[in-house]
Structures are given as structure tokens and as C-alpha cells.
Amino acid sequence: MLLLVGLGNPGTEHERHRHNVGFMALERIRARHRFGAERRRFHGALSEGALDGQRALALRPLTYMNDSGQAVGEAARFHKLEPAAIVVLHDELDLAPGKVRVKTGGGHAGHNGLRSLDAHLGKDYRRVRIGIGHPGDPARVHHYVLSDFAKAERVWLDALLDAIAEAAPLLAMGKDSAFASKVALLTRPPREKKAAKPGDGI
């Protein structure tokens, strides 16, 4: 079994925030792979489906970001899941917008959702880091992550969420590097065609 966790804050006022890109990615996976309806479990919204023929659970903690570990820890203990079976999708300031990296373990880099998960799970769960970029000034980080994606950003964001959803079965297969590579391939800008030179085709 795989437990997919999207990090974010509940409520319509937060749903378009950069900090909620984990929720967005999880929802796109659920829709693409036809997961069941969400129900309230483990202080979160839980749904069930399958990826690559493997049972998968999708969990959105509804505890607010800073206490995400409470919901994930309860779900992991109930289903007796090892950290390797838990994949967390979250925003990453230290990656360029639209870039995705996957890693197991590591520090939380000041991310309060990851800090809470570390406290409840340890550090050996798998992480899909979704780049949102950095505002440049540490003093602006709080406002930046808790503000909506700009209109111009929604083009790459939508393509990225689709790519994550399409590649998600590779996470169930444990092929994290292949997942990241497929997302990068699916979101690569098309090459510009070279202008024809005089005499071409003659």
C-alpha cells in the first residue's frame, strides 16, 4: 500500500496559495486515477484508489500545515506503514518554479509541515518537492507562500500538475528517479523550429 500525502492549509481562502501546491497535486492525482470520494479520517480528508494496480490512499491533513504530522502519523500507525510507503507532496522554496525533485529523508529547511511530519514519522519518508521559487528576501517568505499563484504562473502550474498525475504510478512502483524524469520530460517546453534558409527543400 502507498500513502500519498498532500500538504496545505484547509479552507477556500488558502486553496490557491503557493503553500497549497501539495493539495493541488494530490487532487490532480485523485482525479486522473479516479480515486473514490473523500471521507473524514485521521484528522484529514482520505480517499482510496489504485496506482499501477497497487492500493493507494490519498490524504489531505486538515489540521493546518503546522500540525500535518498528527494526521499522517495516525494514518501510518493505523495501516502499519513504514516510512518508505509514505510519499509527501509539498512546496519547495529552494527549487525554481515548475521544477520537481524526489528525495528520501533530509532536513525540513524551515518548512513547518515537514517539521511536524519529522516529529511524528522520523525523516525517512519520501518527498516530492514541487518548486515554487523564492521571493529573494527572507522577510517576504511568509507573505509569498501564503499568497495566490500569479495569473502568469498558472500556465506552467497546470502543466506541472498534469505531469505529476500522469507520472504518479511510478511512485507506487518505487521508481522515484523515473517519476522525476518523466515529469521533467512532460513539462519540457517544445523546441522552436529553425527558420527555413533560402534554398531549403529545393
CA distance 150 to 168: 26
State residue 65's pLDDT score.
Answer: 94
Count Cβ atoms within 10 A of the Cβ of residue 74 and give its class: 0-12 exposed, 13-18 middle, 19 or more buried: middle
CA distance 139 to 10: 24
Residues that are catalytic = 19
Amino acid at position 8, single letter? G
pTM for this predicted structure: 0.91
State residue 199's pLDDT score.
Answer: 60
Question: Residue 109 corresponds to which cell in the numbers above?
Answer: 529547511
Domain regions of the chain by residue span: 2-186
Q: On the CB side of 127, how many CA atoms lie within 13 Å of its CA? A: 25
State residue 192's pLDDT score.
Answer: 64
Q: How many other CB atoms are found less than 10 A from the CB of residue 175?
A: 16
CA distance 136 to 113: 21
pLDDT along the chain (202 residues), means of 10: 97 95 98 97 97 96 95 96 96 94 87 93 95 93 95 94 98 96 91 62 52
Amino acid at position 13, single letter? E
> Which top CATH class is 2-186?
alpha beta
For the beta sheet containing 86-92, the strands, ordered from the edge strand earlier in sequence to the opposite edge, are 39-41, 44-51, 54-61, 2-6, 86-92, 126-131, 100-104
State residue 163's pLDDT score.
Answer: 97
Q: How many residues does the chain have?
A: 202
State residue 23's pLDDT score.
Answer: 98
CA distance 92 to 22: 10
